[in-house]
Amino acid sequence: DIVMTQSPDSLAVSLGERATINCKSSQSVLYSSSSKNYLAWYQQRPGQPPKLLIYWASTREFGVPDRFSGSGSGTDFTLTISSLQAEDVAVYYCQQYYNIPITFGPGTKVDIK
């Protein structure tokens, strides 16, 4: 199984400041023939289901604010929230869909400082 790790476990950021979450996979999730990274990011607010933010490592889902961006390739990925808003308080998960079983990172909790 591909093991996904995330850092930090939690972070507190002031409103309007940048939040950066890292995700690392135990093996590459880059499919060479398509040059696509099989990596997605989700946001889960308290009491709600996960919401897709980013897929193919950097493609923003329709309707997701452009303050959310994804980057990285191979085994190392980053989700950046450029200017934290109150509604961004949530747990963020990365997910690989390169191999079965699909696996998620343990999550990073984002709070307001």
Q: Cα(25)–Cα(23) distance, rounded to whole angstroms?
A: 7
Residue 21-50 contact track with another protein, rule CB under 8 A, x = bound: -----------------x-x-x-----xxx
Which of 17, 106, 111, 112 touches another protein (CB under 8 A)? Answer: 106
Q: Is 97 in the site for another protein (CB under 8 A)?
A: yes
Question: What is d(CA 18, CA 68) in angstroms, rounded to the nearest whole number?
Answer: 10
Q: Which residues contact 59 (CB under 8 A, 6 or more apart)?
A: 70
Residue 43 β-bridge partners: 51, 92
Q: Which stretch binds another protein (CB under 8 A): 17-25, 71-79, 82-90, 99-107?
A: 99-107
Q: Which is nearer to another protein, 14 or 26 (CB)?
A: 26
Whether the Cβ atoms of residue 84 and residue 16 lie closer than 8 Å to each other = yes
Chain positions contacting another protein, by CB under 8 A: 38, 40, 42, 48-52, 55, 61, 93, 95, 97-107
